[in-house]
Amino acid sequence: MLRARVSPGASRSRVMGLHQGAVKLAVRAPPERGKANDEVCSLLATRFGVPARDVRVVRGETSQDKLIALPLTREEAAGRWRRG
């Protein structure tokens, strides 16, 4: 599981770093009809090298603060994060 803080409606989608123990993300998609959540999953899938279909928002669907499920162990995720 990964905690994320998301800023929708950004000029470009990107990983901005860490913010209070969560990954801070900016996504271009607006926060409507799940578009921003879909882009969050796609962005994180690319960052961690996993299929987007295996990344999902498990808590915070309508909030900037989200809990994301990844198909990786904590150690695998940490290693892939550092390799960036």
DSSP state of 64: S
Tell me what the pLDDT averaged over the chain comes to: 94
> What percentage of the chain reaches a pLDDT higher than 70?
100
Superfamily in which the 2-83 domain is placed by CATH: YggU-like (3.30.1200.10)
Name the CA dihedral angle for 64, 68, 8, 15, rounded to a multiple of 10 degrees: 120
Give the C-alpha separation, 27 to 29, whole Å.
Answer: 6
For residue 70, what pLDDT is reported? 96
- Residue 84 reports pLDDT greater than 90: no
pLDDT in tens, 34-71: 999 999 999 999 999 999 999 999 999 999 999 999 99
User: pTM to 2 decimals?
Assistant: 0.91
Ordered by start, the domain boundaries in the chain are: 2-83
